[in-house]
Chains A and B, each alone.
Chain A
Amino acid sequence: MITARGLARRFTARGRTVDAVKGVDLDVAEGELVGFLGPNGAGKTTTLRMLTTLLRPTSGEATVGGCDLLQDPVGVRRHIGYVAQGGGTAPECRVHEEIELQGRLYGLSKADSIRRGAELTEQLDLAGLDQRLTKTLSGGQRRRLDIALGLIHAPRLVFFDEPTTGLDPQSRANLWEHIRDLRAEHGVTLFLTTHYLDEADSLCDRILVIDNGEIVAEGSPDSLKASVSGDRVVVGVAEDSASAAAEAAGRLEGAHEVTVTGEGVRFRVPRGDTAMPELLRALDAAGIPMLSMQVQRPTLDDVFLTMTGRSLRDAEAAPAGEAAHVA
Protein backbone atom coordinates (compact mmCIF):
# COMPACT_ATOMS: atom_id res chain seq x y z
CA MET A 1 0.00 0.00 0.00
CA ILE A 2 2.85 2.38 0.79
CA THR A 3 6.41 2.18 -0.44
CA ALA A 4 8.75 5.07 0.15
CA ARG A 5 12.44 5.38 -0.52
CA GLY A 6 14.66 8.10 0.80
CA LEU A 7 11.80 10.44 1.52
CA ALA A 8 13.28 13.68 2.80
CA ARG A 9 12.12 17.18 3.47
CA ARG A 10 14.11 20.28 4.28
CA PHE A 11 12.44 23.49 5.38
CA THR A 12 14.11 26.81 4.82
CA ALA A 13 12.76 29.69 6.82
CA ARG A 14 14.59 33.00 7.17
CA GLY A 15 17.91 31.51 6.15
CA ARG A 16 17.68 28.71 8.71
CA THR A 17 17.28 25.22 7.37
CA VAL A 18 15.59 22.40 9.22
CA ASP A 19 15.96 18.85 7.99
CA ALA A 20 12.59 17.72 9.27
CA VAL A 21 12.74 14.30 7.60
CA LYS A 22 16.05 12.82 6.54
CA GLY A 23 15.56 9.99 4.11
CA VAL A 24 12.82 7.70 5.35
CA ASP A 25 12.21 4.25 3.85
CA LEU A 26 8.78 2.76 4.41
CA ASP A 27 6.90 -0.35 3.37
CA VAL A 28 3.37 -0.85 4.50
CA ALA A 29 1.46 -3.89 3.27
CA GLU A 30 -2.25 -4.02 2.58
CA GLY A 31 -4.29 -4.49 5.74
CA GLU A 32 -1.48 -3.51 8.08
CA LEU A 33 -1.93 -1.21 11.03
CA VAL A 34 1.29 0.69 11.37
CA GLY A 35 2.18 3.20 14.04
CA PHE A 36 4.61 6.03 13.73
CA LEU A 37 5.99 6.75 17.17
CA GLY A 38 8.20 9.67 18.07
CA PRO A 39 8.53 12.73 20.27
CA ASN A 40 7.49 16.27 19.34
CA GLY A 41 9.25 17.56 16.27
CA ALA A 42 10.46 14.12 15.20
CA GLY A 43 9.06 14.55 11.70
CA LYS A 44 5.87 12.48 11.91
CA THR A 45 3.52 15.10 10.53
CA THR A 46 5.98 16.15 7.85
CA THR A 47 6.27 12.55 6.65
CA LEU A 48 2.50 12.15 6.59
CA ARG A 49 2.02 15.40 4.70
CA MET A 50 4.48 14.21 2.10
CA LEU A 51 2.75 10.87 1.73
CA THR A 52 -0.63 12.58 1.35
CA THR A 53 0.55 14.96 -1.42
CA LEU A 54 0.28 18.04 0.77
CA LEU A 55 3.99 18.68 0.81
CA ARG A 56 6.48 18.04 -1.93
CA PRO A 57 9.45 15.97 -0.76
CA THR A 58 12.85 17.59 -1.19
CA SER A 59 14.06 14.22 -2.38
CA GLY A 60 12.98 10.62 -2.48
CA GLU A 61 10.09 8.81 -4.07
CA ALA A 62 7.02 6.90 -3.02
CA THR A 63 3.98 5.06 -4.23
CA VAL A 64 0.87 5.36 -2.12
CA GLY A 65 -2.23 3.27 -2.73
CA GLY A 66 -0.74 2.08 -6.02
CA CYS A 67 -0.16 5.57 -7.44
CA ASP A 68 3.10 7.40 -7.79
CA LEU A 69 3.31 10.26 -5.34
CA LEU A 70 4.93 12.69 -7.75
CA GLN A 71 3.47 11.56 -11.08
CA ASP A 72 -0.11 10.96 -10.03
CA PRO A 73 -0.93 12.93 -6.88
CA VAL A 74 -4.64 13.05 -7.72
CA GLY A 75 -4.66 9.25 -7.93
CA VAL A 76 -3.09 9.13 -4.49
CA ARG A 77 -5.69 11.55 -3.09
CA ARG A 78 -8.49 9.48 -4.52
CA HIS A 79 -7.29 6.40 -2.64
CA ILE A 80 -6.51 7.77 0.77
CA GLY A 81 -8.19 9.33 3.74
CA TYR A 82 -6.27 11.80 5.89
CA VAL A 83 -7.02 13.22 9.30
CA ALA A 84 -4.64 16.05 10.11
CA GLN A 85 -3.17 16.59 13.54
CA GLY A 86 -4.91 19.92 13.94
CA GLY A 87 -8.19 18.90 12.33
CA GLY A 88 -9.86 20.88 9.59
CA THR A 89 -13.43 21.91 10.19
CA ALA A 90 -14.74 25.37 9.42
CA PRO A 91 -16.06 26.99 12.62
CA GLU A 92 -19.08 28.58 10.94
CA CYS A 93 -20.23 25.44 9.14
CA ARG A 94 -22.79 22.99 10.38
CA VAL A 95 -21.77 19.40 11.00
CA HIS A 96 -24.00 17.97 8.29
CA GLU A 97 -22.77 20.55 5.77
CA GLU A 98 -19.17 19.58 6.35
CA ILE A 99 -19.96 15.91 6.05
CA GLU A 100 -21.97 16.33 2.89
CA LEU A 101 -19.39 18.58 1.23
CA GLN A 102 -16.58 16.20 2.08
CA GLY A 103 -18.43 13.22 0.62
CA ARG A 104 -19.30 15.08 -2.53
CA LEU A 105 -15.75 16.29 -3.06
CA TYR A 106 -14.80 12.61 -3.06
CA GLY A 107 -17.34 12.04 -5.79
CA LEU A 108 -20.22 10.60 -3.77
CA SER A 109 -23.73 11.61 -4.69
CA LYS A 110 -25.62 13.79 -2.24
CA ALA A 111 -27.73 10.87 -1.06
CA ASP A 112 -24.69 8.65 -0.62
CA SER A 113 -22.75 11.18 1.41
CA ILE A 114 -25.73 11.75 3.67
CA ARG A 115 -26.20 8.02 4.20
CA ARG A 116 -22.53 7.40 4.76
CA GLY A 117 -22.33 10.41 7.08
CA ALA A 118 -25.21 9.07 9.15
CA GLU A 119 -23.41 5.75 9.51
CA LEU A 120 -20.21 7.38 10.65
CA THR A 121 -21.80 9.86 13.04
CA GLU A 122 -23.60 6.94 14.62
CA GLN A 123 -20.42 4.88 14.97
CA LEU A 124 -18.39 7.81 16.27
CA ASP A 125 -20.95 8.96 18.81
CA LEU A 126 -21.83 12.13 16.98
CA ALA A 127 -25.50 11.38 16.44
CA GLY A 128 -27.79 14.34 17.09
CA LEU A 129 -25.12 16.96 16.43
CA ASP A 130 -25.97 17.39 12.73
CA GLN A 131 -27.30 20.90 12.99
CA ARG A 132 -24.61 22.25 15.28
CA LEU A 133 -22.01 24.75 14.11
CA THR A 134 -18.68 23.00 14.40
CA LYS A 135 -17.36 25.81 16.60
CA THR A 136 -19.89 24.83 19.23
CA LEU A 137 -18.66 21.24 19.45
CA SER A 138 -16.43 20.16 22.30
CA GLY A 139 -12.81 19.41 21.44
CA GLY A 140 -13.36 15.68 21.51
CA GLN A 141 -16.54 15.88 19.43
CA ARG A 142 -14.73 17.97 16.86
CA ARG A 143 -11.89 15.47 16.78
CA ARG A 144 -14.36 12.69 16.09
CA LEU A 145 -15.90 14.79 13.34
CA ASP A 146 -12.44 15.17 11.78
CA ILE A 147 -12.17 11.42 11.81
CA ALA A 148 -15.61 10.95 10.28
CA LEU A 149 -14.64 13.37 7.49
CA GLY A 150 -11.48 11.39 6.80
CA LEU A 151 -13.47 8.18 6.47
CA ILE A 152 -16.44 9.46 4.50
CA HIS A 153 -15.41 7.86 1.21
CA ALA A 154 -14.52 4.52 2.80
CA PRO A 155 -10.85 4.76 1.76
CA ARG A 156 -8.68 1.65 1.58
CA LEU A 157 -5.78 3.49 3.14
CA VAL A 158 -6.11 5.95 5.99
CA PHE A 159 -3.55 8.29 7.54
CA PHE A 160 -4.32 9.45 11.05
CA ASP A 161 -2.11 12.11 12.61
CA GLU A 162 -2.46 11.72 16.36
CA PRO A 163 -6.09 10.65 16.17
CA THR A 164 -6.71 10.34 19.88
CA THR A 165 -5.08 13.51 21.16
CA GLY A 166 -7.65 15.41 23.18
CA LEU A 167 -10.07 12.52 23.59
CA ASP A 168 -11.24 11.33 26.98
CA PRO A 169 -10.31 7.76 27.93
CA GLN A 170 -13.68 6.40 26.90
CA SER A 171 -13.74 8.05 23.48
CA ARG A 172 -10.19 6.96 23.05
CA ALA A 173 -11.03 3.33 23.74
CA ASN A 174 -14.03 3.69 21.48
CA LEU A 175 -11.87 5.03 18.66
CA TRP A 176 -9.34 2.25 19.11
CA GLU A 177 -12.18 -0.18 18.74
CA HIS A 178 -13.33 1.61 15.61
CA ILE A 179 -9.83 1.51 14.17
CA ARG A 180 -9.52 -2.18 14.90
CA ASP A 181 -12.89 -2.78 13.22
CA LEU A 182 -11.87 -0.86 10.13
CA ARG A 183 -9.00 -3.22 9.72
CA ALA A 184 -10.70 -6.41 10.78
CA GLU A 185 -13.99 -5.98 8.95
CA HIS A 186 -13.04 -3.89 5.98
CA GLY A 187 -9.38 -4.71 5.52
CA VAL A 188 -8.44 -1.03 5.63
CA THR A 189 -4.75 -0.23 5.84
CA LEU A 190 -3.99 2.26 8.59
CA PHE A 191 -1.00 4.42 9.21
CA LEU A 192 -1.17 6.46 12.36
CA THR A 193 1.15 8.62 14.36
CA THR A 194 1.12 8.84 18.08
CA HIS A 195 3.27 9.70 21.00
CA TYR A 196 1.24 7.55 23.33
CA LEU A 197 3.19 4.42 24.06
CA ASP A 198 0.17 2.43 25.16
CA GLU A 199 -1.63 3.36 21.97
CA ALA A 200 1.19 2.18 19.75
CA ASP A 201 1.58 -0.89 21.89
CA SER A 202 -1.98 -2.10 22.00
CA LEU A 203 -3.16 -0.96 18.58
CA CYS A 204 -0.40 -1.44 16.05
CA ASP A 205 0.93 -4.52 14.28
CA ARG A 206 4.12 -2.75 13.58
CA ILE A 207 5.78 0.35 14.89
CA LEU A 208 8.24 2.69 13.30
CA VAL A 209 10.13 4.74 15.82
CA ILE A 210 11.20 8.08 14.43
CA ASP A 211 13.50 10.58 16.04
CA ASN A 212 15.08 13.65 14.51
CA GLY A 213 13.74 12.81 11.08
CA GLU A 214 15.15 9.32 10.97
CA ILE A 215 13.63 5.94 11.62
CA VAL A 216 15.61 4.53 14.50
CA ALA A 217 13.76 1.26 15.08
CA GLU A 218 11.09 -0.81 13.43
CA GLY A 219 9.17 -3.96 14.28
CA SER A 220 6.17 -5.36 16.10
CA PRO A 221 5.70 -3.99 19.61
CA ASP A 222 6.85 -7.32 21.04
CA SER A 223 9.90 -7.72 18.87
CA LEU A 224 10.89 -4.14 19.55
CA LYS A 225 10.60 -4.71 23.24
CA ALA A 226 12.51 -7.94 22.94
CA SER A 227 15.26 -6.13 21.10
CA VAL A 228 15.82 -3.97 24.13
CA SER A 229 18.33 -5.85 26.09
CA GLY A 230 15.85 -7.78 28.16
CA ASP A 231 13.84 -7.34 31.31
CA ARG A 232 14.80 -5.00 34.05
CA VAL A 233 15.31 -6.80 37.38
CA VAL A 234 15.60 -5.13 40.76
CA VAL A 235 16.61 -7.27 43.71
CA GLY A 236 16.62 -5.99 47.27
CA VAL A 237 19.34 -7.23 49.60
CA ALA A 238 20.99 -5.89 52.73
CA GLU A 239 23.49 -3.14 51.99
CA ASP A 240 26.58 -5.05 53.10
CA SER A 241 25.85 -7.99 50.83
CA ALA A 242 24.96 -5.90 47.79
CA SER A 243 28.30 -6.31 46.04
CA ALA A 244 28.25 -10.07 46.56
CA ALA A 245 24.73 -10.15 45.16
CA ALA A 246 25.89 -8.10 42.19
CA GLU A 247 28.58 -10.65 41.53
CA ALA A 248 26.04 -13.46 41.59
CA ALA A 249 23.76 -11.54 39.25
CA GLY A 250 26.64 -10.87 36.88
CA ARG A 251 27.17 -14.62 36.51
CA LEU A 252 23.65 -15.09 35.12
CA GLU A 253 23.60 -15.77 31.41
CA GLY A 254 23.21 -12.55 29.45
CA ALA A 255 23.07 -10.31 32.50
CA HIS A 256 24.35 -6.81 31.94
CA GLU A 257 24.08 -3.24 33.14
CA VAL A 258 24.54 -4.54 36.65
CA THR A 259 24.40 -1.65 39.09
CA VAL A 260 24.63 -1.62 42.85
CA THR A 261 22.09 0.71 44.38
CA GLY A 262 21.44 1.67 47.96
CA GLU A 263 18.77 -0.99 48.41
CA GLY A 264 20.26 -3.77 46.36
CA VAL A 265 21.11 -4.61 42.79
CA ARG A 266 19.66 -3.65 39.47
CA PHE A 267 20.40 -5.34 36.16
CA ARG A 268 19.00 -6.45 32.84
CA VAL A 269 18.68 -10.02 31.67
CA PRO A 270 17.04 -11.47 28.51
CA ARG A 271 14.41 -13.55 30.34
CA GLY A 272 13.71 -12.24 33.81
CA ASP A 273 11.23 -14.99 34.66
CA THR A 274 13.67 -17.88 34.15
CA ALA A 275 16.65 -16.01 35.55
CA MET A 276 14.98 -15.38 38.89
CA PRO A 277 14.93 -18.92 40.30
CA GLU A 278 18.54 -19.31 39.27
CA LEU A 279 19.54 -16.11 41.04
CA LEU A 280 17.55 -17.15 44.08
CA ARG A 281 19.51 -20.40 44.31
CA ALA A 282 22.82 -18.61 43.80
CA LEU A 283 22.05 -16.10 46.54
CA ASP A 284 20.89 -18.92 48.81
CA ALA A 285 24.13 -20.79 48.25
CA ALA A 286 26.09 -17.65 49.08
CA GLY A 287 24.02 -17.12 52.21
CA ILE A 288 22.56 -13.80 51.10
CA PRO A 289 18.90 -13.32 52.05
CA MET A 290 16.78 -11.70 49.32
CA LEU A 291 14.47 -9.01 50.71
CA SER A 292 12.46 -8.19 47.60
CA MET A 293 12.45 -8.61 43.89
CA GLN A 294 10.86 -7.00 40.88
CA VAL A 295 10.89 -8.03 37.23
CA GLN A 296 9.79 -5.46 34.68
CA ARG A 297 9.04 -6.30 31.07
CA PRO A 298 10.57 -3.74 28.74
CA THR A 299 8.23 -1.01 27.53
CA LEU A 300 8.30 0.90 24.28
CA ASP A 301 9.79 3.70 26.28
CA ASP A 302 12.75 1.45 27.01
CA VAL A 303 13.02 0.87 23.27
CA PHE A 304 13.07 4.57 22.65
CA LEU A 305 15.53 5.10 25.46
CA THR A 306 17.86 2.48 24.07
CA MET A 307 17.64 3.82 20.53
CA THR A 308 18.00 7.50 21.22
CA GLY A 309 19.37 7.80 24.71
CA ARG A 310 16.29 9.81 25.65
CA SER A 311 13.03 8.85 27.21
CA LEU A 312 10.02 9.38 24.99
CA ARG A 313 7.79 10.19 27.91
CA ASP A 314 9.83 13.26 28.64
CA ALA A 315 12.04 13.85 25.67
CA GLU A 316 11.72 17.49 26.66
CA ALA A 317 12.39 17.01 30.39
CA ALA A 318 15.89 16.05 31.45
CA PRO A 319 16.28 12.28 31.56
CA ALA A 320 20.04 12.85 31.59
CA GLY A 321 20.81 10.58 34.52
CA GLU A 322 19.18 7.49 33.15
CA ALA A 323 20.21 8.23 29.59
CA ALA A 324 23.81 8.47 30.64
CA HIS A 325 23.50 5.21 32.51
CA VAL A 326 22.17 3.35 29.49
CA ALA A 327 24.68 4.88 27.12
Chain B
Amino acid sequence: MSRDIWLIFRRDLSLSMRNPAWIMIGIMQPVLYLVLFGPLMERVVSNTPGFPPGSSWTILTPALIIQLALFGSSFSGFGLLAEFRSGVLERLRVTPASRVALLLGKVLNNALQTVLQAILIIVLAFLVFDLDAPFGGIVLSLVIVGLTSTALASASYALALTIRNEQAFPALLNAVLMPVLLLSGILLPITTGLAPDWLYAISRINPFTHIVDAERASFRGDVTMDALFTGCVVLVVLTSVTVFWGARTFRRENA
Protein backbone atom coordinates (compact mmCIF):
# COMPACT_ATOMS: atom_id res chain seq x y z
CA MET B 1 0.00 0.00 0.00
CA SER B 2 2.64 2.56 0.98
CA ARG B 3 4.62 1.55 -2.09
CA ASP B 4 1.60 2.19 -4.29
CA ILE B 5 0.99 5.54 -2.62
CA TRP B 6 4.61 6.46 -3.26
CA LEU B 7 4.42 5.44 -6.93
CA ILE B 8 1.27 7.46 -7.58
CA PHE B 9 2.58 10.39 -5.57
CA ARG B 10 5.79 10.43 -7.58
CA ARG B 11 3.94 10.26 -10.86
CA ASP B 12 1.65 13.16 -9.98
CA LEU B 13 4.53 15.13 -8.55
CA SER B 14 6.63 14.76 -11.68
CA LEU B 15 3.62 15.73 -13.79
CA SER B 16 3.05 18.89 -11.78
CA MET B 17 6.75 19.71 -11.72
CA ARG B 18 6.74 19.54 -15.49
CA ASN B 19 4.86 22.83 -15.39
CA PRO B 20 6.26 24.71 -12.39
CA ALA B 21 4.55 27.80 -13.76
CA TRP B 22 1.29 26.52 -12.33
CA ILE B 23 2.68 26.69 -8.82
CA MET B 24 3.51 30.34 -9.40
CA ILE B 25 0.15 31.08 -10.96
CA GLY B 26 -1.43 29.37 -7.94
CA ILE B 27 0.14 31.85 -5.53
CA MET B 28 -0.57 34.92 -7.65
CA GLN B 29 -3.90 35.51 -5.98
CA PRO B 30 -2.66 35.47 -2.35
CA VAL B 31 0.38 37.52 -3.35
CA LEU B 32 -1.87 40.15 -4.90
CA TYR B 33 -3.89 40.26 -1.71
CA LEU B 34 -0.73 40.71 0.32
CA VAL B 35 0.54 43.51 -1.87
CA LEU B 36 -2.62 45.34 -2.79
CA PHE B 37 -4.89 44.61 0.15
CA GLY B 38 -2.50 44.07 3.06
CA PRO B 39 -1.36 47.73 3.38
CA LEU B 40 -5.02 48.75 3.55
CA MET B 41 -5.57 46.35 6.43
CA GLU B 42 -2.65 47.80 8.35
CA ARG B 43 -4.45 51.11 9.02
CA VAL B 44 -7.85 49.53 9.48
CA VAL B 45 -6.61 47.09 12.08
CA SER B 46 -4.77 49.69 14.13
CA ASN B 47 -7.72 52.10 14.12
CA THR B 48 -10.61 49.68 14.63
CA PRO B 49 -11.43 47.78 17.78
CA GLY B 50 -12.68 44.19 17.51
CA PHE B 51 -9.84 42.61 15.52
CA PRO B 52 -8.10 39.56 16.94
CA PRO B 53 -4.77 40.27 18.64
CA GLY B 54 -1.62 40.64 16.56
CA SER B 55 -0.51 42.88 13.71
CA SER B 56 -2.43 43.06 10.47
CA TRP B 57 0.13 40.74 8.81
CA THR B 58 -0.30 38.02 11.41
CA ILE B 59 -4.03 38.30 10.80
CA LEU B 60 -3.94 38.35 7.00
CA THR B 61 -1.08 35.99 6.06
CA PRO B 62 -2.41 32.83 7.77
CA ALA B 63 -5.86 33.47 6.36
CA LEU B 64 -4.48 33.86 2.84
CA ILE B 65 -2.72 30.52 3.23
CA ILE B 66 -5.99 28.81 4.07
CA GLN B 67 -7.56 30.57 1.09
CA LEU B 68 -4.77 29.20 -1.04
CA ALA B 69 -5.58 25.68 0.12
CA LEU B 70 -9.25 26.31 -0.41
CA PHE B 71 -8.92 27.38 -4.02
CA GLY B 72 -5.85 25.35 -4.94
CA SER B 73 -7.07 21.97 -3.74
CA SER B 74 -10.79 22.17 -4.36
CA PHE B 75 -10.33 22.04 -8.10
CA SER B 76 -7.97 19.07 -8.12
CA GLY B 77 -10.91 16.83 -9.02
CA PHE B 78 -10.82 18.48 -12.42
CA GLY B 79 -7.57 16.75 -13.27
CA LEU B 80 -9.08 13.47 -12.15
CA LEU B 81 -11.94 13.91 -14.59
CA ALA B 82 -9.37 14.24 -17.37
CA GLU B 83 -7.75 10.99 -16.23
CA PHE B 84 -11.15 9.39 -16.10
CA ARG B 85 -11.96 10.43 -19.66
CA SER B 86 -8.62 9.37 -21.08
CA GLY B 87 -8.93 5.90 -19.53
CA VAL B 88 -5.89 6.39 -17.30
CA LEU B 89 -7.96 5.91 -14.16
CA GLU B 90 -9.41 2.68 -15.46
CA ARG B 91 -5.96 1.46 -16.44
CA LEU B 92 -4.72 2.10 -12.91
CA ARG B 93 -7.83 0.58 -11.35
CA VAL B 94 -7.33 -2.71 -13.13
CA THR B 95 -3.85 -3.16 -11.65
CA PRO B 96 -3.54 -4.85 -8.26
CA ALA B 97 -2.49 -1.53 -6.71
CA SER B 98 -4.75 -0.53 -3.86
CA ARG B 99 -7.44 1.82 -5.08
CA VAL B 100 -7.18 3.80 -1.87
CA ALA B 101 -3.48 4.26 -2.64
CA LEU B 102 -4.47 5.87 -5.95
CA LEU B 103 -6.38 8.47 -3.96
CA LEU B 104 -3.79 8.97 -1.23
CA GLY B 105 -0.89 9.32 -3.66
CA LYS B 106 -2.73 12.10 -5.47
CA VAL B 107 -3.84 13.81 -2.27
CA LEU B 108 -0.33 13.74 -0.90
CA ASN B 109 0.92 15.55 -3.98
CA ASN B 110 -1.80 18.21 -3.58
CA ALA B 111 -0.90 18.68 0.08
CA LEU B 112 2.80 18.97 -0.69
CA GLN B 113 2.17 21.55 -3.37
CA THR B 114 -0.01 23.64 -1.09
CA VAL B 115 2.58 23.52 1.67
CA LEU B 116 5.31 24.61 -0.76
CA GLN B 117 3.19 27.50 -1.96
CA ALA B 118 2.40 28.44 1.64
CA ILE B 119 6.12 28.56 2.42
CA LEU B 120 6.69 30.91 -0.51
CA ILE B 121 3.97 33.23 0.72
CA ILE B 122 5.24 33.21 4.29
CA VAL B 123 8.77 33.95 3.12
CA LEU B 124 7.46 36.82 1.04
CA ALA B 125 5.44 38.21 3.94
CA PHE B 126 8.53 38.00 6.15
CA LEU B 127 10.90 39.63 3.74
CA VAL B 128 8.77 42.32 2.19
CA PHE B 129 6.20 43.02 4.85
CA ASP B 130 6.16 43.27 8.54
CA LEU B 131 5.23 39.71 9.40
CA ASP B 132 6.56 38.49 12.71
CA ALA B 133 5.80 34.95 13.80
CA PRO B 134 7.57 32.29 15.87
CA PHE B 135 9.19 29.39 14.05
CA GLY B 136 7.22 26.73 15.92
CA GLY B 137 3.99 28.47 15.12
CA ILE B 138 4.87 28.59 11.43
CA VAL B 139 5.59 24.87 11.40
CA LEU B 140 2.28 24.16 13.10
CA SER B 141 0.50 26.40 10.62
CA LEU B 142 2.03 24.41 7.74
CA VAL B 143 0.72 21.18 9.26
CA ILE B 144 -2.71 22.77 9.48
CA VAL B 145 -2.64 23.93 5.88
CA GLY B 146 -1.36 20.53 4.73
CA LEU B 147 -4.26 18.77 6.41
CA THR B 148 -6.73 21.32 5.06
CA SER B 149 -5.44 20.66 1.58
CA THR B 150 -5.68 16.89 2.16
CA ALA B 151 -9.29 17.24 3.21
CA LEU B 152 -10.24 19.49 0.31
CA ALA B 153 -8.46 17.45 -2.34
CA SER B 154 -10.06 14.21 -1.10
CA ALA B 155 -13.48 15.80 -1.16
CA SER B 156 -12.79 17.23 -4.59
CA TYR B 157 -11.79 13.85 -6.02
CA ALA B 158 -14.81 12.17 -4.48
CA LEU B 159 -17.14 14.85 -5.79
CA ALA B 160 -15.63 14.79 -9.27
CA LEU B 161 -15.98 11.02 -9.53
CA THR B 162 -19.52 11.22 -8.26
CA ILE B 163 -20.85 13.87 -10.62
CA ARG B 164 -18.48 13.17 -13.53
CA ASN B 165 -19.34 16.27 -15.44
CA GLU B 166 -16.81 18.86 -16.52
CA GLN B 167 -19.37 21.65 -16.66
CA ALA B 168 -21.27 20.96 -13.46
CA PHE B 169 -18.17 20.33 -11.34
CA PRO B 170 -16.58 23.82 -11.43
CA ALA B 171 -20.00 25.48 -11.36
CA LEU B 172 -20.89 23.61 -8.20
CA LEU B 173 -17.52 24.38 -6.62
CA ASN B 174 -17.81 28.08 -7.32
CA ALA B 175 -21.27 28.12 -5.82
CA VAL B 176 -20.00 26.47 -2.63
CA LEU B 177 -16.62 28.17 -2.29
CA MET B 178 -17.86 31.75 -2.43
CA PRO B 179 -20.03 31.60 0.72
CA VAL B 180 -17.46 29.41 2.46
CA LEU B 181 -14.81 32.04 1.75
CA LEU B 182 -16.92 34.97 2.92
CA LEU B 183 -18.15 33.16 6.02
CA SER B 184 -14.72 32.02 7.16
CA GLY B 185 -13.53 35.57 7.85
CA ILE B 186 -10.47 35.26 5.67
CA LEU B 187 -10.29 38.86 4.53
CA LEU B 188 -11.94 40.46 7.53
CA PRO B 189 -12.14 38.33 10.66
CA ILE B 190 -15.69 37.68 11.78
CA THR B 191 -15.44 38.48 15.48
CA THR B 192 -18.07 39.43 18.04
CA GLY B 193 -16.58 42.91 17.97
CA LEU B 194 -16.92 43.38 14.19
CA ALA B 195 -19.85 41.30 13.01
CA PRO B 196 -23.56 41.48 13.79
CA ASP B 197 -24.72 38.56 15.95
CA TRP B 198 -26.47 36.66 13.19
CA LEU B 199 -23.46 36.76 10.89
CA TYR B 200 -21.19 35.69 13.71
CA ALA B 201 -23.55 32.80 14.49
CA ILE B 202 -23.59 31.58 10.88
CA SER B 203 -19.84 31.86 10.57
CA ARG B 204 -19.40 29.51 13.52
CA ILE B 205 -21.15 26.74 11.57
CA ASN B 206 -18.54 26.98 8.83
CA PRO B 207 -15.69 24.58 9.63
CA PHE B 208 -13.19 26.78 7.82
CA THR B 209 -13.81 29.62 10.25
CA HIS B 210 -12.36 27.46 13.00
CA ILE B 211 -9.49 26.35 10.82
CA VAL B 212 -8.65 29.97 9.97
CA ASP B 213 -8.84 30.84 13.68
CA ALA B 214 -6.43 28.04 14.54
CA GLU B 215 -4.07 29.09 11.75
CA ARG B 216 -4.08 32.68 13.07
CA ALA B 217 -3.45 31.45 16.60
CA SER B 218 -0.43 29.45 15.55
CA PHE B 219 0.95 32.47 13.67
CA ARG B 220 0.59 34.49 16.89
CA GLY B 221 2.44 31.73 18.68
CA ASP B 222 -0.61 31.26 20.86
CA VAL B 223 -0.45 27.49 21.19
CA THR B 224 -2.83 27.25 24.13
CA MET B 225 -5.66 24.74 24.22
CA ASP B 226 -8.14 27.56 24.11
CA ALA B 227 -7.01 29.00 20.82
CA LEU B 228 -6.27 25.78 18.97
CA PHE B 229 -8.62 23.16 20.33
CA THR B 230 -11.77 23.78 18.28
CA GLY B 231 -9.87 24.36 15.04
CA CYS B 232 -7.80 21.21 15.40
CA VAL B 233 -10.78 19.04 16.28
CA VAL B 234 -12.71 20.43 13.33
CA LEU B 235 -9.73 19.86 11.05
CA VAL B 236 -9.16 16.28 12.17
CA VAL B 237 -12.84 15.42 11.82
CA LEU B 238 -13.05 17.12 8.42
CA THR B 239 -9.95 15.34 7.15
CA SER B 240 -11.12 11.95 8.39
CA VAL B 241 -14.56 12.32 6.89
CA THR B 242 -13.36 13.54 3.49
CA VAL B 243 -10.57 10.98 3.19
CA PHE B 244 -13.07 8.29 4.09
CA TRP B 245 -15.47 9.65 1.47
CA GLY B 246 -12.72 9.72 -1.13
CA ALA B 247 -11.56 6.23 -0.26
CA ARG B 248 -15.07 4.91 -0.50
CA THR B 249 -15.59 6.53 -3.89
CA PHE B 250 -12.31 5.19 -5.22
CA ARG B 251 -12.96 1.73 -3.89
CA ARG B 252 -16.46 1.55 -5.30
CA GLU B 253 -16.74 -1.19 -7.88
CA ASN B 254 -18.66 0.80 -10.41
CA ALA B 255 -16.48 3.50 -11.77
User: Which A residues lie at the B interface, using CB under 8 A?
Assistant: 52-56, 73-74, 77-78, 80, 82, 84, 86-93, 97, 101-102, 104-107, 149
Contact between B7 and A53, CB atoms less than 8 A apart: no
Contact between A90 and B83, CB atoms less than 8 A apart: yes
Main secondary structure of the interface of A (DSSP, over half): loop
Contact between B95 and A105, CB atoms less than 8 A apart: yes
Contact between A106 and B96, CB atoms less than 8 A apart: yes
Main secondary structure of the interface of B (DSSP, over half): helix
For A55, give its contact among B4, B14, B253 (CB under 8 Å): B253
For B86, give its contact among A73, A89, A105 (CB under 8 Å): A89
Contact between A105 and B92, CB atoms less than 8 A apart: yes
Across the A-B interface, the 8 shortest Cβ-Cβ residue pairs: A88-B91, A88-B87, A56-B253, A105-B95, A105-B97, A78-B96, A77-B96, A82-B94
Residues of B within 8 A of A91 (CB): 86
Count of A-B residue pairs with CB < 8 Å: 65
Q: How far is the CA of A221 from the CA of B86 in the complex (A)?
A: 34
Q: How far is the CA of A102 from the CA of B4 in the complex (A)?
A: 11
Nearest chain-A residue to B85 (Cβ)?
A86
Q: Among residues 1 to 58 in chain B, which have CB atoms less than 8 Å away from a CB atom of chain A?
A: 4, 7, 11, 14-15, 18
Nearest chain-A residue to B10 (Cβ)?
A101
User: Which B residues lie at the A interface, using CB under 8 A?
Assistant: 4, 7, 11, 14-15, 18, 83, 86-97, 253-255
Q: How far is the CA of A90 from the CA of B106 in the complex (A)?
A: 15
Beyond A90-B88, A92-B15, A149-B91, is A105–B4 a contact (Cβ under 8 Å)? yes
Contact between B87 and A86, CB atoms less than 8 A apart: yes
Beyond A77-B94, A107-B96, is A101–B18 a contact (Cβ under 8 Å)? no
Q: How far is the CA of A222 from the CA of B86 in the complex (A)?
A: 38
Beyond A54-B90, A84-B91, is A104–B7 a contact (Cβ under 8 Å)? yes
Contact between B94 and A53, CB atoms less than 8 A apart: yes
